[in-house]
Amino acid sequence: TVLVVEDSHMVRNLVREMLEFCGYTVLEASDGAEAIQLCTRHAGAIHLLITDVVMPQMSGWELAERLTALYPQMRVLYMSGYPEKSFPARRREKGKIHFVQKPFTMETLLRKVREAITGSALDM
């Protein structure tokens, strides 16, 4: 199961459709608060969080910190229209995060999802 958190309805739907087309079960939320609420109501495991980095009220960084504290097995894939070099240095440490830059192709997204789930190819 993959949780997609993105404030843009269009991007969120596109990501959901791509993932469902490839057989993933997808939950979706428009912001961090909705995502946390969804996780607490969801009975099964959530294997991967795909979150936008820049969102109103709660950033993707903060959301990931909160959810991985509650669900340590959850992997995280960050997505952003900003290049990775624009993130704070502590966020850019090689080997620390999975990242996909928008816009992305279906092929790129699916490769990044597989890498995040398996824990491989951690460089951005």
Q: How far is CA 43 from the centre of its chain?
A: 20
Residue 112 and residue 17: Cα distance in Å, rounded? 16
Between the ranges 28-37, 52-61, 95-104, where is the mean pLDDT highest? 28-37
Domains and their CATH numbers in the chain = 2-105 (3.40.50.2300)
- State mean pLDDT over 75-102: 73
Residue 64 and residue 109: Cα distance in Å, rounded? 18
Is the predicted pLDDT of residue 119 greater than 90, yes or no?
no
β-strands 75-80, 26-29: how paired? unpaired
Residue 81 and residue 54: Cα distance in Å, rounded? 9
- State mean pLDDT over 35-56: 95
Residue 11 and residue 107: Cα distance in Å, rounded? 16
